[in-house]
Chains A and B, each alone.
Chain A
C-alpha cells in the first residue's frame, strides 16, 4: 500500500467538517462545489454540481460557469446540465454560445458545442450544422460538434453526421457513425456502409456495429471481407453484424 496516510489525513480533516448527510439530489451548496473543484476530483465535482440540481444559488454560478470551459468534457457536461435546470440562465448563456460557434476560436467553439449538447437545445441544431462547415476548427472542436449533434438526437442532425463520417480525423468518423445509430427515428445505416472500408480499424468496427444494428443487407458482402480483418474488434463486430443480417 502506498504511504498515503499523511496527505489523506490532512485532506480528510479538511473535508470532514463539510461532510453532508446521505442525500441524492439534495444537500448541495456553493461551498461544496468550490471544495470539490479545489480537490481537482472529477468525481466529486460532478457529484456536488449534481447535488445543486434545484438550488437557488447565486454563489454557484461563477464556479459552474468556469467548468463550462474546462478541458475535461465530463466537467463541461455536468456544468451544462446545471444550466439546463435553469432555463432563463441557460438561454442567456446560449446567446453567447451560439456566437462562439459561429466566430469563436476553436476552444470557444468546442465549449459552445458541448454546452448546446448538454442542455439539449434542439433549436441550436442549425448553428451546429453551420459550425461544422467551418474550416478553421480543430479536431477537438469538430468532435464536440458531432458529439452535440448526437446528443440532441434530432433527425435534422443526420446531414452533419453523414458529413462527419468523411472527416479527416478517424476519431470523428467513428463518433459520427456511432451517433448515427441512436438518432431518433433512424431507419437506415446506409451512410455507414462506406466506412466498412475505412483505413482506421476502430471506424471499421463501429461501422460494422451500426450496419448490423440496422440489419443492413447491402453491407453483407463488405462485412464478409472484415471477418478476416487484422483487428480483433473488427472481426468480432463484423461477425455479430453478419449474424444479425442472416437471422432477420
Chain B
C-alpha cells in the first residue's frame, strides 16, 4: 500500500538520510489517487506475451500507451525484481536458491510501453556479474533500495544498499557465513531481515547452532535488524521452525509468516512483532481463520487489512491465490477505503479470496488461471486494485519439470472487481516479481516493548494476569495449579532426524510456575529460546496445551491477559498488582546454560527425586522436582534397548507381568494388509529390549515394518494411525495407543496407573499412604488381577511424574538425556 507521495528523491548521497529519522504516523486516510476508468495497457511493446486466446478474451485489452487514469496513472515508475526462472523453490521457506543473473529494473512509465532501465547491478562491475537477488525494499524517501544478493554459488546471501541517484552499491557487513534475506526498511534508519544466523548468549548459550526444521530439514530462518550503515546487528528470539517473508505495517509492526510445527501442527501462519522483535502476536491462519495450509507475503492494504498469498507449503513455487485478510471489524471512510483495525484478533479475522479459481493447495493450476507470486495494493477499496506477479498454467513444480519448462511470472495489474489481469511487463526468461511503485512514503512509528533491564542479557519474563481467561479452553475454577514451561530443540543438538514416532520436537521441562489465587502467574525464562506452555493440575498433568512455540527477547516481559484470551476484549486489571507479581516470578532455568538444562545422569533412573517430606524448592514446589528436566525413554541406541527415565519405571514396576512372556495375558492385536495378506501381531509389553527378531524379519516384507524403537516404546506410542488408514490396513484384536502426545490426562497408561496428587505437596502411595488420585478408577496397583499375579510396588511421585511428562512432552523417545550426539565417537 502506498499513499500519494511526492516523486522520488534522487538527491546525491549525503543529501539526507534515506529514512525518516522522525517517523510520522502513516496517513491512511490519504487514498486520494485518481481512479478513473482504467484503460488497459498496450500490448504492442510487450515481449511476446503469448498468454493465449482465453486470457486475451478475459482481458479485453485495448491499445494505449498513454494511460494515466488508472491506479498507476500518477506513478512515474515501478521497480521490478527479475530472477532467472527456476523450479527449486517449491517449499515456501526456501531461501537459498541461487541462479546467476538476477537484476533490479525500473519500468517508466509503468505500462507495457514503458522503458526498462537496469538499476542493479550491471553498473557494479564484474564482482556482481553472477549475482542473484532474492528480495528488496525501497527506502521511505525512495532514494535507495536494500536488497538481498548472492554473488556466487560459493557465497551466502548478504544485504546490499543501492543508491538510486548514482547507482553505487554497498554491501553491509553481515556474517558472510550466513544468509541474510528479505530486507525491509524500518523507521529510525534500520533494516529488518530474516537470517539463518543464530543469536547467542555469553552466559547461557555462547556458541549455539541454529535450529533445523524437523520436516524440511533446512536451517531455519529467523529475524534480525541492523542499522543501515551495517552496524548494530541484532538477532531476534528464535522459533523452532522458520520465520519468513516480513513486511512493514502502518502501525510500525512487522507482519511475517511463522512456520508453526509442533507435533501435528504443520502450517505457515501470519504473525506480528514489534520492530524491535518483541511482542510476537498471532495475526491470521490459526483458530480456523486460514483458508490454506500457508499464508505468506502479507502486505498491508489499509490498517488491519492485508493482501497475501494463500497456498500449500510445497510444490507451488511460493505462489497461490490472492486473499484479502481482515484482522478486525471493517469500516469504510468517505473515500470508500476499507480498513479493518477495530478489535483486531486472530479469532475475529476473516479473509476474502480474490482469485477463487486459483487452487489453495498444491493442485496444478489451470490454463488462464495460474498462480500469483506476490501482490502490492494500489488502493484500499473494498475490492482493491493490485500490482501482481502472475504466471499462467500449472504452476506446480512436478508439472513444470515434467514438461521441461519453468513458470513464467510477469507483472500485471489485477482488478479485483472484475477479476481481470492487465499485462504490464513480462520477460519470458525471468521471473518478474515484487513490483512496487518507486515512490516516497511516510515512515510508520518506531515500535518497541518495555525492556526490564533487571532481567539482564539472558532472561525474559512471561506470564498471564488470569489463566482462566481463555478463548480456547474453559477451565473449571481452581483447577489450574500452575503453568509448565517447556523448551524446544531440534536435531541440531546431535539427535537423529526424529525424536520418536509422534513427530514432536525435543522437549525439556524448565519448570512449573504456580498460578496465584487471582489466576496470575509469572516465570523467568531463558531468552531467545522456543517455549511451549501447558496449564497443569495438581497431579502435574496438562489441562490444556498451547499448540505453538513462542519466544522472547532478553529483558522482554510478555505478560498476557489470560491463556490465549480474547485479544479484542478489554483486559480488566484490578487495582494493585497481580498476586504473582507480588510473589515474584518462578525461575524456569532462566540462567542455566543450555547444555545443562537436563536431568543429570545420576538422576535419570532415580525413583525418588521428588521429596515427600514437605520441603519445597525455590519455586514453592516439592523439593527435587526441579531435577526432572527431560524424560529419556531408553538408551541412546534404541535398537539395543536400554534404560532411560521411562524405562526405569517400567523395569521396576511393570515388566514382571508385561515383559516378553506376557504374564499378564494381554490380548494381542494384528495389523493386516488386505492386499498382500501380510500381517504382524503385537502384544503389549513394557520391557526395554529392541523389537523382537520376528518383527525385524518383517523388513523382508517391509510394508508391515513397525517404526519401532524399543518394545515398550512401540507398545505405548503405537503405530502411526495415518499410515494405517492410508494403507487401508486392518487392525484387529486388542489395539490401543497407551500414551497420547501432549495429553497425559487422556492417556490409557497414565489413567491406568492413576497418579497420586503432586502439588502442592506430593503424596507417596509407595510408602503406604492413602493418597488422592487423579481418576476415580481403581489404581492398577490395587486391581485384583494385578495382585493375583503378585502385584507390584506402587509408583513413587517421581515415577508418576516421569510418566506424565513423557506423555505431556510429546511421547518422544529421545531427550537431551539420551542424545546420541552427546557421546564421543
A-side residues, CB < 8 A to B, are 1-5, 7-12, 14-16, 19-27, 29, 35-36, 38-47, 50, 53-59, 61, 77-78, 81, 84-89, 91-92, 118-123, 125-126, 152-156, 174, 178, 181-182, 184-187, 202, 205-206, 208-210, 212-213, 232-233, 236-237, 239-240, 243
Q: Is the CB of B405 within 8 A of A7?
A: yes
B364 & A19 in contact (Cβ 8 Å cutoff): yes
Chain A residues with Cβ below 8 Å from B722 are 26, 54-55
Give Cα A22 to B396, complex, Å: 13
Contact of B177 among A50, A55, A178, A243 (CB under 8 A): A178
For this complex, 16 residue pairs linking A to B, each with C-beta atoms less than 8 Å apart, are A1-B49, A4-B393, A7-B403, A8-B394, A15-B364, A20-B362, A22-B312, A41-B398, A44-B396, A50-B314, A57-B727, A81-B217, A92-B699, A174-B154, A205-B155, A232-B151
Per-residue CB contact flags for chain B residues 306-344 toward chain A (1 = under 8 Å, else 0) read 000000111100000000000000000000000000000
- Cβ contact of B363, chosen from A16, A44, A46, cutoff 8 A: A16
Of B403, B497, B824, the contact of A8 (CB 8 Å cutoff): B403
- Bound-state CA distance A131–B494 (Å) is 21
B704 at the interface (CB under 8 A from A): yes
* Contact B266 A24, beta carbon cutoff 8 Å: yes
Contact partner of A152 (CB less than 8 A), chosen from B705, B709, B821, is B821
Q: Shortest beta-carbon distance, A1 to chain B, in Å?
A: 5
Q: Which residues of B are found within 8 Å of A20, using beta-carbon distances? A: 361-363
B48 within 8 A of A: yes
Q: Which residues of B contact A186 (CB under 8 A)?
A: 207
B701 within 8 A of A: yes
B interface residue count range (under 10 / 10 to 19 / 20 to 34 / 35 or more):
35 or more
For A120, the chain B residues whose CB sits under 8 A away are 491, 494-497, 820-821
Q: Report B270-321 residues with CB < 8 Å from chain A CB.
A: 292-294, 312-315
Q: How close is A3's CB to chain B, nearest CB, in angstroms?
A: 6
Indicate if the CB atoms of A84 and B501 lie closer than 8 Å.
Answer: no
Which B residues touch A35, using CB under 8 A?
A: 398
Nearest residue in B to A183 (C-beta to C-beta)? Answer: B209
Nearest-neighbor residue (CB-CB) of A208 within chain B: B176
The interface stretch among B86-94, B556-564, B570-578 is: B86-94
Q: Which of B264, B292, B402 touches A40 (beta carbons < 8 Å)?
A: B402
Name the residue among B294, B360, B399 with the largest chain A CB count within 10 angstroms: B399
Instruction: Note all chain B residues with C-beta closer than 8 A to A81.
Output: 217, 497
Q: Is B201 an interface residue (CB 8 A)?
A: no
B38 neighbours in A (Cβ, 8 Å):
none
- A5 contacts across to B, CB distance below 8 A: 52, 367, 393
Asked whether any CB of chain A lies closer than 8 Å to the CB of B637, the reply is yes
* With A24-B312, A41-B401, A239-B173 as contacts: A89 and B494 at CB distance below 8 Å: no
Q: Is there contact, CB below 8 Å, between B705 and A56?
A: yes
Q: Which residue of B lies closest to A214 (CB)?
A: B207
**Which chain B residue has the least Cβ–Cβ distance from A47?**
B314
- Is there contact, CB below 8 Å, between B825 and A126? yes
* Cβ-defined contact, A184 with B494, below 8 A: yes
How far, in angstroms, from A123 to B823 measured CA to CA in the complex? 8
Is B583 interfacial (CB 8 A cutoff)?
A: no
**Of A1, A53, A121, A233, the contact of B215 (CB 8 Å cutoff):** A53
List the 6 closest A-B pairs by CB distance, nearest first: A58-B703, A44-B398, A41-B401, A22-B361, A84-B497, A43-B397
**B729 interface residue (CB < 8 Å to A):** yes
| B29 interface residue per 8 A CB criterion | no
The CA-CA distance from A91 to B676 in the complex, in Å, is: 25
For A2, A205, A209, A243, the residue with the greatest tally of chain B CB atoms inside 10 Å of its CB is: A2
Q: What residues on A are CB-neighbors of B382 within 8 Å? A: none
Determine how close the nearest CB of chain B comes to the CB of A113; give it in whole angstroms: 15
Question: Are the C-beta atoms of A3 and B50 separated by less than 8 Å?
Answer: yes
Nearest CB of B to A232, in Å:
4
Whether a CB of chain A sits under 8 angstroms from the CB of B616 is: no
Q: A74 — nearest CB in chain B belongs to which residue? A: B88
CB distance from B339 to the nearest CB of A (A): 30
- CA of A22 to CA of B363, assembled, Å: 8
How far apart sit A77 and B696, CA to CA, in the bound complex (Å)?
A: 24
Interface positions, chain B 397-415, Cβ under 8 Å from A, are 397-405, 408, 410
A58 and B704 form a contact (CB under 8 A)? yes
Tell me the smallest distance from the CB of A104 to a CB of chain B, in Å. Answer: 21
Taking a contact as CB atoms under 8 Å apart, the answer to whether B154 and A54 are in contact is no
The answer on a CB contact under 8 Å between B292 and A44 is: no
Most chain B beta carbons < 10 A, residue from A3, A54, A239: A54
CB atoms of A88 and B639 under 8 A apart: yes
B359 proximity list for chain A (CB < 8 A): 19
Report whether B127 and A88 are in contact in the complex, using a CB–CB cutoff of 8 Å.
no
Q: A47-B90, A56-B719 are in contact. Are A233 and B393 (CB under 8 A)?
A: no
Check if B579 is an interface residue, CB within 8 A of chain A: no
Assuming A87-B708, A178-B177, what are 13 further A-B pairs, CB within 8 angstroms?
A1-B410, A7-B402, A15-B398, A19-B364, A54-B501, A56-B706, A56-B707, A56-B719, A87-B639, A153-B209, A154-B821, A187-B207, A213-B175
Q: How far is the CB of A244 from chain B (nearest CB, A)?
A: 9
Given A88-B705, A156-B824, answer yes or no on A42-B88 (Cβ-Cβ < 8 Å).
yes
Nearest chain B CB to A32's CB is how many angstroms away? Answer: 9
Q: Contact check, A153 vs B494: say whether CB atoms are below 8 A apart.
A: yes
Determine which residue in B48, B401, B503, B708 has the highest number of CB atoms from chain A within 10 A of its CB, and name it: B401
Q: Determine which of B89, B639, B825 lies in contact with A122 in the assembled complex, contact meaning CB atoms within 8 Å.
A: B825
Interface residues of B in 449-507 (CB under 8 A from A): 491-498, 501, 503
Instruction: Give every chain A residue within 8 A of B495 (Cβ-Cβ).
Output: 120
- Is B80 part of the contact surface with A, judged by Cβ < 8 Å? no
Find out whether the CB atom of A44 lies under 8 angstroms from the CB atom of B494.
no
Q: In the assembled complex, how far is the CB of residue B208 from the closest CB belonging to chain A, in whole angstroms? A: 10
Judge whether B401 and A42 touch: CB under 8 Å: yes
Task: Decide if B701 touches A58 in the complex (CB within 8 Å).
Answer: yes
Q: How far is the CB of B212 from chain A (nearest CB, A)?
A: 10
Contacts of B701 in A (CB 8 A): 58
- B151 touching A85 by the CB < 8 A rule? no
B188-213 to A contact mask, C-beta < 8 Å, 1/0: 00000000000000000001010000
Separation of A184 and B210 alpha carbons in the complex (Å): 11
Complex CA–CA separation, A41 to B317 (angstroms): 12
Inter-chain CA distance A160–B493, complex, in Å, is 20
Q: Which of B87, B215, B315, B726 contacts A55 (CB 8 A)?
A: B726
Docked Cα-Cα span, A125 to B613, in Å, equals: 47
CA distance A45 to B399 in the complex (A): 12
Other-chain residue from B177, B264, B696, B723 in contact with A210 (beta carbon distance below 8 A): B177
Q: Is B601 an interface residue (CB 8 A)?
A: no
* Shortest Cβ distance from residue A19 to the other chain B in the assembled complex, whole angstroms: 4
Complex CA–CA separation, A120 to B87 (angstroms): 28
- Closest chain B CB from A8 CB (angstroms): 5
Q: Is B393 a contact partner of A56 (Cβ separation < 8 A)?
A: no
Q: Give B694-726 as 1s and 0s: 1 = Cβ < 8 Å from A's Cβ atoms.
A: 011001011111111100000000011011101
Indicate if the CB atoms of B127 and A1 lie closer than 8 Å. no
Contacts of B639 on A, CB cut-off 8 Å? 87-88, 91
B496: which of A25, A84, A206 is its contact (CB, 8 Å)?
Answer: A84
> B171 within 8 Å of A by Cβ?
yes
Q: Is the pair A85, B707 in contact by a Cβ cutoff of 8 Å? A: yes
CA distance A213 to B209 in the complex (A): 13
Instruction: Return chain B residues, CB-CB under 8 Å to A40.
Output: 401-402
Determine whether the beta carbon of A56 is less than 8 Å from that of B699.
Answer: no
Q: What is the distance, in angstroms, from B807's C-beta to the closest C-beta of chain A?
A: 19
Write the nearest CB–CB distance from A173 to chain B, whole angstroms. 12
Residue of B nearest to A185 (CB): B207
Q: Is B227 an interface residue when CB atoms closer than 8 A count as contact?
A: no
Please determine whether B825 and A125 come into contact, CB atoms closer than 8 angstroms.
yes
B295 CB, nearest partner CB in chain A, Å: 12
User: A188 → chain B, closest Cβ, in Å?
Assistant: 11
In chain B between 35 and 66, which residues have their CB closer than 8 angstroms to a CB of chain A?
Answer: 48-52
- Asked if B132 is at the interface (CB within 8 A of a chain A CB), the reply is no
Residue of B nearest to A44 (CB): B398
Cβ–Cβ < 8 Å partners of A174 in chain B: 154
Distance in angstroms from A34 CB to nearest chain B CB is 11
Q: Are A21's CB and B498's CB within 8 A?
A: no
Chain A: CB-nearest residue to B173: A240
